[in-house]
Amino acid sequence: MLVFERKNELVAFVRNAKDQGKTIGFVPTMGALHAGHLSLVKISVEQCDMTIASIFVNPIQFNNPKDLEKYPRTFDADSKMLEEAGCDIIFHPSIEEMYPTEAVEKFDFGQLETVMEGAFRPGHFNGVAVVVKRLFEIVNPDKAYFGKKDFQQLAIVKALVKQIQFPVEIIGMETVREPDGLAMSSRNIRLSPDERIKAVEISKVLKFILENKSQYSPLLLEAQAIDRLSKNFKVEYIQIVDGDSLQPISSWNQTDYPVVCAAAFLGEVRLIDNLELE
């Protein structure tokens, strides 16, 4: 496995591989890897001739400086896991390499970015779009793999690719969960043992909504879920939305693809999750 820190060196390497007819799979990450990330890498290895994973904690997508400061950085452990998963290349650039000057790009994703994460984390998705566009231009992948746990981010990335007309196939993969149902996340390692036990309640309230979908309206189920989760969490949102537009629904007949999304703080750790309600 090779590690590149300079974008021009990786660009040249990828160009040579593509000249040889090789297909490139790409898994962008911010490190602190877990089984969810590795599942994306393994699918890429199966589907593509060469798999590249990036490890870059993107500062411009954090609207909370404390969150950026505390984000886990575990490159040695990450690189070992990636090699064992069959990854061919790690791209591990510095902030200066990705942003030699201040990023000034601005994107407009309309209603996709004004709800849920967009409402609570202003500027977040513009930061995501900037770094994903730059990474795509460097790696030039044929396929790029993203987890559905970041459901809104996946929708933003698909919209970005359409806007900039980049020739890459975006593949969304199912959320990987712990045995008790908690969605795997790099932030989970920041939970105390007591918080880790309580954290599973997020996935339980989402499952509660799925199981009671036939009996209650979306708005009533949201209220019940928020009430249940508020016992241990500071809830930012629990919203049932159309899975394509991400706009909230008040009646089940407003969509054929309902998805419930949630974000809440457990202590100082912000957790997100979602569940397709089909």
Whether the model clears a pTM of 0.85, i.e. scores above it, the answer is yes
Q: Residue 161 is which amino acid?
A: V
Measured between alpha carbons, how far is 122 from 180 in angstroms, rounded to an integer? Answer: 32
pLDDT digits (tens, 9 = 90+) for 223-238: 999 999 999 999 999 9
What is the distance of C-alpha 40 from the center of its chain? 12
Tens digit of each residue's pLDDT (9 = 90 or more) over 153-193: 999 999 999 999 999 999 999 999 999 999 999 999 999 99
Q: Quickly count: other Cβ atoms within 10 Å of residue 28's Cβ.
A: 24
Domains and CATH numbers, the chain: 2-173 (3.40.50.620), 191-270 (3.30.1300.10)
> Mean of the pLDDT values across residues 68-81?
92
The closest alpha carbon to 37, from 29, 45, 26, belongs to 29
Give catalytic residue positions: 37
